[in-house]
């Protein structure tokens, strides 16, 4: 229940139902009812999962008549990938290509963020306070 962005994203991803919802959304926007269909949980439960995803910035929502469409927002996943890249050398010894990836990821996000800006927001090393 930490409330910093990356913690919210990791927590959101820790639930298989929510991951499955994200997977479904890669095929296109969907209503709550459509997202609920594959699961044997109540529809309010799905509404709450969607709220968690929205709160983590992983989906956005718009109305269409009485329905609400959920839309995948993958940007936080890119940030998580950037965070994980820090550990790449501990699983991969020949990581030249991965370094390229990291540079690519950090160098230009959709919002034009810089490497430094990206680093500042999620580096929870032991040398800093983390909320």
If contact means CB under 5 to 8 A according to the sort of partner, which of DNA, its own copies, none does residue 111 touch? Answer: none
From CA 4, how far away is CA 49, in angstroms rounded?
18
If contact means CB under 5 to 8 A according to the sort of partner, which of its own copies, DNA, none does residue 4 touch? Answer: its own copies
CA-closest candidate to residue 25, choices 8, 42, 50: 50
Contacts of 59 (CB under 8 A, 6+ apart): 22, 25, 50, 53, 70, 71, 72, 73
Q: Which residues bind its own copies (CB under 8 A)?
A: 2, 4, 6-7, 10-11, 13-17, 19-24, 26, 38-39, 72, 74-75, 77-78, 80-81, 84-88, 90-92, 97-98, 100-101, 104-105, 109-110, 124-127, 130-131
Q: Do residues 9 and 82 touch, judged by C-beta distance below 8 A?
A: no
Q: What is the greatest pairwise CA distance in the chain?
A: 53
Cβ distance to its own copies smaller for residue 48 or 65: 48
Contacts of 1 (CB under 8 A, 6+ apart): 11
In the shown chain, the binding pattern of residues 40 to 69 toward DNA, with x for contact by CB under 7 A and - for none, equals xxxxxx-xxxxxx--------x-x-xxxx-
Cβ distance to its own copies smaller for residue 66 or 124: 124
Min separation Cβ 73 and its own copies, Å: 8
Q: Is 24 in the site for DNA (CB under 7 A)?
A: no
Cβ distance to DNA smaller for residue 31 or 73: 31
């Amino acid at each position: 229940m930490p409330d910093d962005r990356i913690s919210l994203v990791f927590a959101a991803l820790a639930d298989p139902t929510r991951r499955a919802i994200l997977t479904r959304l890669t095929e296109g926007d969907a209503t709550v009812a459509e997202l609920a269909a594959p699961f044997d949980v109540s529809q309010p439960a799905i509404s709450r999962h969607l709220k968690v995803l929205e709160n983590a910035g992983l989906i956005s929502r718009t109305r269409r008549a009485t329905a609400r469409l959920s839309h995948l927002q993958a940007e936080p996943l890119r940030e998580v990938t950037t965070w994980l890249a820090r550990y790449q050398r501990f699983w991969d010894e020949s990581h030249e290509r991965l370094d390229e990836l990291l540079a690519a990821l950090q160098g230009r996000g959709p919002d034009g963020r810089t490497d430094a800006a990206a680093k500042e927001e999620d580096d929870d090393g032991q040398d800093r306070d983390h909320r």
